[in-house]
Chain A
Amino acid sequence: MTKAITFLLVDDDEDDSMLFEEVLQECDPEIHFMAASNGKEALDMLTSEGIDLPDLIFLDLNMPRMDGKECLSKMKQHAALAQIPVIIYTTSFHLKDIEETRKLGAIGFITKPSDIQDLQMILGIIVEHFPQNLKLALRALSQIPTHL
């Protein structure tokens, strides 16, 4: 049996986490959903014994204890974790954040949409093109203007 695809969302906002899981379910019920509420929790989870590593990580930036940038940086330094593609999923839309996270190794940057239909479209496209054409999908998404 092939292992189910797993997405991990690292976000301290419970509502956003809940919405994300719901939309993901709709897009593809086969995809397994994991959640961590901050950077430290995520790292602890990912480095624990016998963990099944996720295939894609969505990472929020503003979190307590350990924020997204620090978490991303640490993940890329860790042999096993560095391979996992990371998409930033945040409320911010600042150029600075986009550039910094790209430099740290994130493959995409998505600003959280306020309209759930937009989220459905975004996740739909990502799920559809995962894993081979993920980068293409992200590039296409970056052309579409998102609102906060």
Chain B
Amino acid sequence: MILIVDDKQENLFSLKSLLQLNAYEVDTAASGEEALRKILRNEYALIILDVQMPEMDGYEVAEAVTGLNKTKDIPIIFLSAVNVDKRFITKGYNSGGADYITKPFDPDLLLLKVKNFCRLYEQTRELKAIQEVLKNEIEARKYAQTEVESMNLDLEEKVKIRTKELVLLNQDLENTNTELAQYASLASHDLQEPLRKILTFSKIIGQQHLAELPEAQRHMDKIIASTERMRDLINDLLNYSKLSGESYFSSTDLNVVLENTLSDLEISIDEKSAVLTVGKLPVIEAIPGQIRQLFQNLISNALKFSEMDVVPTIDIWSEYILEKDLHATAVVEGPYVRIHVKDNGIGFDEVYANKIFTIFQRLHGRREYEGTGIGLAIVKKIVEKHDGIVGVRSAEGAGADFIIVLPIQQTSSIKSNLHERI
């Protein structure tokens, strides 16, 4: 819509007709005030403004229009018959006019100018619409971002609280574990004291007072044997429970640990004339004392369950693997080490593979082989403490291959986090 402002009705009429003939929508105002009122209320693509008007002239209208945000982009064409000097035209442009036409004017040229200005106006409007859309888009995204950020902060808080809870819970569990280990330790010490007495005096009775009574002596021997067995069970339980207590991991050279273990078992190894083949083992993060116990239990088992009349051989070797899997393919370097302790002893039916790792479970009677049946249960507990897995391959008469998988590094689990935070 185009607004024509002129105080002379005949001018308004003629210009209006001209424009309407060319399919433009036209509105008129007969004074500056009326023009401003209308401009504020309606949307105009173009204002054709007469300069010479009583009360408020064209320049003042133009200044007002260009001063307002809402209307400053509306193009203004000044139309004047009288003020045609350069200074008037200059003033027109300075007040915000986009064009200054002097009368008489060529209607064709005027129409072309109108067409141009209308087109420009349209383009500006389109641009503004796009700008508005973009602005909203940005607003919406900014809002979404703040929402996400606040949700993130929320989540972080929740995670912090949860972690704190878990850390405390874990600490609690570790404390309970240590307490239990302590109770077990104290209980077994207290139990061992009277046991010792029973043994001592039973032996005295047997040796000194039943010399003439072989049957009574036999019975006494049974009492002594059972008491010694009880003592061994309590000792073993004590050792087993100690494994649950708090313990600290450190860089451990498995070769050194194995060497020390073999040195301790030297006498038994010589007795059986066993042949040991030892491969290179890696350095891993472990509890040295427990690994020592692990090797000790496996190797003394291998020696104990050897075939009669056959030279016992024990092969110990290791390889790296990529996953915590007993049968994963060996690689040059990996996060896990798989250790084998293989013997050529009496072996056992693989059907019992799980049973033998259970506490106090044995496959042989006490007469055949001594022991309480806790050795492998201890091995399993130690392996689990190190976040590893243990298994065995065996067949009756074909020896046994004990397989242990351990991580090289103890990953940052809650347990090591615990030591960091607290």
Residues on A close to B: CB < 8 A?
A: 15, 19, 91, 112-117, 148
The residue in chain B whose Cβ has the minimal distance to the Cβ of A116 is B204
> In the complex, what distance in Å separates the CA atom of A112 from the CA atom of B193?
11
**Cross-chain contact B204 with A114 (CB below 8 angstroms):** no
**Cross-chain contact B207 with A148 (CB below 8 angstroms):** no
Q: In this assembly, does B19 line the interface, its C-beta being within 8 Å of a C-beta of chain A?
A: no
The distance from the CB of A144 to the nearest CB of chain B, in whole angstroms, is 14
**Cross-chain contact A148 with B204 (CB below 8 angstroms):** no
Residues on B close to A: CB < 8 A?
A: 192-193, 196-197, 199-201, 203-204, 207, 231
> In the complex, what distance in Å separates the CA atom of A15 from the CA atom of B196?
11
**Cross-chain contact A148 with B200 (CB below 8 angstroms):** no
**Cross-chain contact B197 with A15 (CB below 8 angstroms):** yes
Residues of B within 8 A of A148 (CB): 192, 196, 231
Name 18 extra pairs, CB < 8 A, besides A112-B196, A113-B200: A15-B197, A15-B200, A15-B201, A19-B200, A91-B192, A91-B193, A114-B196, A114-B199, A115-B199, A115-B200, A115-B203, A116-B200, A116-B203, A116-B207, A117-B203, A117-B207, A148-B196, A148-B231
Residues of B within 8 A of A114 (CB): 196, 199-200, 203
**Cross-chain contact A91 with B196 (CB below 8 angstroms):** yes
Residues of A within 8 A of B196 (CB): 91, 112, 114, 148
The distance from the CB of A51 to the nearest CB of chain B, in whole angstroms, is 31
The distance from the CB of A131 to the nearest CB of chain B, in whole angstroms, is 28
The distance from the CB of B182 to the nearest CB of chain A, in whole angstroms, is 15
> In the complex, what distance in Å separates the CA atom of A19 from the CA atom of B203?
13
> In the complex, what distance in Å separates the CA atom of A70 from the CA atom of B203?
33
Residues of B within 8 A of A19 (CB): 200
Residues of B within 8 A of A115 (CB): 199-200, 203
Residues of B within 8 A of A113 (CB): 200
* 5 chain-A/chain-B pairs, Cβ below 8 angstroms: A15-B200, A91-B196, A114-B199, A117-B203, A148-B192
The distance from the CB of A128 to the nearest CB of chain B, in whole angstroms, is 22
The distance from the CB of A12 to the nearest CB of chain B, in whole angstroms, is 12
Residues of B within 8 A of A117 (CB): 203, 207
Residues of B within 8 A of A112 (CB): 196
Residues of A within 8 A of B199 (CB): 114-115
The 7 A-B residue pairs with the shortest CB-CB distance in the complex, in nearest-first order: A114-B199, A114-B196, A114-B200, A116-B204, A115-B203, A116-B203, A148-B196
> In the complex, what distance in Å separates the CA atom of A68 from the CA atom of B203?
28
Residues of B within 8 A of A91 (CB): 192-193, 196
Residues of A within 8 A of B200 (CB): 15, 19, 113-116
The distance from the CB of A67 to the nearest CB of chain B, in whole angstroms, is 15
The distance from the CB of A16 to the nearest CB of chain B, in whole angstroms, is 9
The distance from the CB of B232 to the nearest CB of chain A, in whole angstroms, is 10
The distance from the CB of A118 to the nearest CB of chain B, in whole angstroms, is 10
The distance from the CB of B373 to the nearest CB of chain A, in whole angstroms, is 20
> In the complex, what distance in Å separates the CA atom of A114 from the CA atom of B193?
10
The residue in chain B whose Cβ has the minimal distance to the Cβ of A19 is B200
The distance from the CB of B297 to the nearest CB of chain A, in whole angstroms, is 19
> In the complex, what distance in Å separates the CA atom of A91 from the CA atom of B204?
18
> In the complex, what distance in Å separates the CA atom of A84 from the CA atom of B5?
131
The distance from the CB of B413 to the nearest CB of chain A, in whole angstroms, is 31
The residue in chain B whose Cβ has the minimal distance to the Cβ of A115 is B203
> In the complex, what distance in Å separates the CA atom of A117 from the CA atom of B200?
10
The residue in chain A whose Cβ has the minimal distance to the Cβ of B201 is A15
